[in-house]
Chain A
């Protein structure tokens, strides 16, 4: 038997309503680790450049990995597809859906073709069935979960579903896993296109570990690193005890909020985290075996016009969205969180699209006539909520924003594209750029739009606190100088390769704190003890590098090149008005050259070179590139 793995892929043909099981190739386990890495190879092999994202031949893949079902897996699932904008649509999510899939006996689920009418997939150990979902269609994600539980009669069944946004093909709709864990920007859109309302899973098995004693020893060390007293990471107290919202203040002070569509780095009357914690939080609410009780919280609004709104909130992401549109009210932003979660819509698409429209409105590019009479000014709470509802329902001006701000700018014109905050056509995900050059570079080169989880966290621990026996393939002191382009190529390469390993095990990048982000030995110990592999550290990191190169090969095959590895014009050309922070300018090109050089990619085109691909045992990519005339 394969330790850690179940060794099975479940393939489901929605058109025929048939499911089949196949063995997971051992070569894939060794070369791509699992989860995101194996999703990559399935997508690369089966969804080529000739396949339109909305074709029945596009696939939707849900993947777990060898460490899923153990405490290290933390409930992480990777969901992947060809995104409507043709790059890789991939995202991880937590919760408890992924371990349940393992317990049911499967590592991966590959969804193929399209159903004629709405369906949901029912998995109960060996019992797999594509069932009618007419009653579910049109319902929000919470209603779907309850309906599925009622229909199956299994109260603790785990449900992954789309909401109305996915059903209506909003461009970056997500999949919602169990308690408001969202993942896979654009994957919900393709799931909606396939008329797959939900995947319900119930499993009664477990996961076998090859060397439990050593696994437990490594896990104890893992938890020790995350302990407040032992940590060398400023983020641990925030994440572990007081919620990521506490960092709002710090981020505001360094001017790295995208306030008012990133025209400013700070906002007056900012949300006060203590108000949130004391007035709205009901209890901690984390995913499977998550060691950070403060990362997820259940909130309820008890009074006011949004009384009764509730939900789960994670990582502080929603609070960081508030300054983008000038919102200073907790109840507004929490109501908005509820709306997004129930609709299965991507909060980043919504907030940056509305912020872009707000700036266009205040500059007179669009008027009340365009916005269906809504006074779309920054800081207008009601307008923000109303426009979000319009995007979800694809009503009027909301239908335009539902296509994404890039497409909306193409339609509106009049210079509105000047104010877009998009990369590769997709809206940003909060991360600063003008005062964090490592983040600017990492966002520019990301293979699935500006996805921050592929290289997160971006900070090395305080370099002066780094234990002397840890060596890293970059200069930690230069890496810590966040507004210098120096040595960022090596740092970002390391971030991408190491996080590709962690996401493929899988584990959650938000616990990658302290030395866990720079010393991969402990992750290797966990992997070897779980699977029985005898992998070396070099081989381990090489697997991550292989995953990143395969992802780059995928988007190269789709036509993406160096010109697409760029940043919003505002970041390149404008200073942050209230912070004295200059624009990035030509520093991006300096960093791109450095990054491609360290990657072994062609500097002019960003295409991986043949010798690098062969070194990584990606010979089939070389053949593909030749056959397609790419090189």
Chain B
């Protein structure tokens, strides 16, 4: 089979929303494509388009990223960790919990 000219496979992450974040999104979880996205900052911007105000909650104006929120990343083969850097990479299959 010739795969050289096939489009790159779509990549997905699964997102979970807790408490007041679930109120903002109206759901407690969803799968989402991260095609063309590399960092958590870019993913948050994408979510801002779906849920206006989303970015401001996690990156308060003039404030520190995740100073009053948390994003927990579960990644295959690794201990879960808190995302504290906006340039943190997101990867295919990550389970990200927005709290």
| Residues on A facing B (Cβ under 8 Å) | 228, 231-234, 236-238, 241-243, 246-247, 249-250, 253-255, 272-274, 435, 461-462, 464-465, 483, 579-581
Contact = CB atoms under 8 A, between A and B. Distances in A.
Contacts of A232: 64, 67-68
Given A238-B19, A253-B16, A247 B80 contact: no
Interface string B16-56: 10111011000010000000000000000000000000000
Contact of A253 (B19, B63, B72): B72
Contact of B79 (A234, A273, A465, A580): A580
A246 B99 contact: yes
Nearest to A576: B79
Contact of A250 (B22, B64, B68, B72): B72
Nearest to A240: B20
B95 interface: yes
A464 B68 CA distance: 11
B13 interface: no
Contacts of B97: 249-250, 253
Contact of B20 (A233, A242, A255, A579): A242
Given A237-B19, A250-B99, A253-B74, 18 more contacts: A231-B68, A237-B68, A238-B18, A246-B99, A249-B97, A249-B99, A250-B18, A250-B70, A250-B72, A253-B80, A255-B79, A255-B80, A274-B22, A435-B79, A464-B64, A465-B64, A579-B79, A580-B77
Nearest to A483: B79
Given A462-B64, A579-B80, A581-B79, A234 B19 contact: no
Contacts of B78: 580
A236 B19 contact: no
Contact of B68 (A236, A241, A249, A254): A236
A234 B84 CA distance: 13
Contacts of A247: 18-19, 99
Interface of B: 16, 18-20, 22-23, 28, 63-64, 66-70, 72, 74, 77-80, 82, 84, 95, 97, 99
A255 B82 CA distance: 12
A233 B68 contact: yes
B15 to A, nearest CB: 11
A247 B63 CA distance: 23
Contacts of B79: 255, 435, 483, 579-581
Given A232-B68, A234-B69, A254 B28 contact: no
Nearest to A465: B67
Contacts of A238: 18-19, 99
Given A253-B97, A579-B79, A580-B77, A234 B68 contact: yes
A238 B70 CA distance: 12
A405 to B, nearest CB: 29
A233 B69 CA distance: 7
Contacts of A462: 64, 66-68, 84
Nearest to B74: A253
A242 B68 CA distance: 15
Contacts of B68: 228, 231-234, 236-237, 462, 465
Q: Which 3 A-B pairs have the closest CB atoms?
A: A246-B19, A465-B67, A242-B19
A465 B63 contact: yes
Given A253-B74, A579-B79, A241 B67 contact: no
Contacts of B77: 580
Contact of A273 (B19, B70, B82, B95): B19
A461 B78 CA distance: 24
A237 B98 CA distance: 13
A289 B73 CA distance: 37
A464 B64 CA distance: 7
A253 B95 contact: yes
A241 B80 CA distance: 26
